[in-house]
Amino acid sequence: MHLFTKSSVFRLSKKRLRNRMETKIINDPIWGPIELHPLCIRIIDTPQFQRLRSIKQLGGCSFVYPGACHTRFEHSIGTSYLAKRLGQELQKKIAAEQSKELEITDEEILCLEVAGLCHDLGHGPFSHLFDLQFFKKAKPGETWEHEDASIKMIQGIFEIIQQDYVNDEEIKFIKDLVKQTDETCTEKRETKPFLYEIIANDLNKIDVDKWDYFSRDCHMLGLHHNFQCERSIKVARLVKHNGKYHISFPKSARLVIVLTGVF
């Protein structure tokens, strides 16, 4: 029995049909089945992203904790998934309130997904050991952060892959989600500052990057934790403060976030 009739297939746009055909599902040990957008698949297949398979998430910790052999590769996919989940949850709540001012588009959700996937592209060998120890001794006096390299690699990826999912302005937005600069997407940062708090939260450091590595690191090291990521996503909401909307959590969730060390 065919899943689609001929008439229903013809009603699908070419782009939607292509998305159905190219979407893939992987099984993550932390978050379970993760559906990857076709654009994410093309990014994952690049040499820039594949190198993350060789970069351990916790650097030299595996010499003490033998299970700490997970890499930036799976962490990046997990962060992408959580960025999408949190974005969609906020999108649903905003739609329910019929707030056109704060509306999150599907294009912005995709940008969040891609930014989460690419946020750690610039990490060097042994992760933070490289930028916090090696780089400082190799080039004293110079400042460098792995996000700087991530932004350059994102630009390099979009120069070589063939895609029609995001335009040049959205690529700038993706890079700005990884590390905010004074040059890109200033209007969106003023109108929707909460989008910049999902992956790299400079306001209070509560973001999906930490949610993934906290859950993943504890799992791989065999350490117990009580952090409920799914609950945190479900209870997240937007609150207006000093004229701008920011992501907020109820008091009932604050204790969980603080006690688990995420905050």
Return d(Cα 233, Cα 112) in angstroms, integer.
15
Largest CA distance in the chain: 67
Q: Which of 37, 75, 123, 146 is catalytic?
A: 146
Assess whether 146 carries a catalytic annotation: yes
**What letters, b where the CB count within 10 A reaches 16 and e where it falls short, cover 183-198?**
ebbeebbeebbbbbbb
Neighbours of 162 (CB within 10 A): 5
**Distances, alpha carbon 201 to alpha carbons 18, 83, 102, 245, in Å:** 34, 12, 18, 14
Neighbours of 106 (CB within 10 A): 10
Are 214 and 206 within 8 A, CB to CB?
Answer: no
Return d(Cα 31, Cα 22) in angstroms, integer.
21
Return d(Cα 23, Cα 98) in angstroms, integer.
30
Residues taking part in catalysis: 146
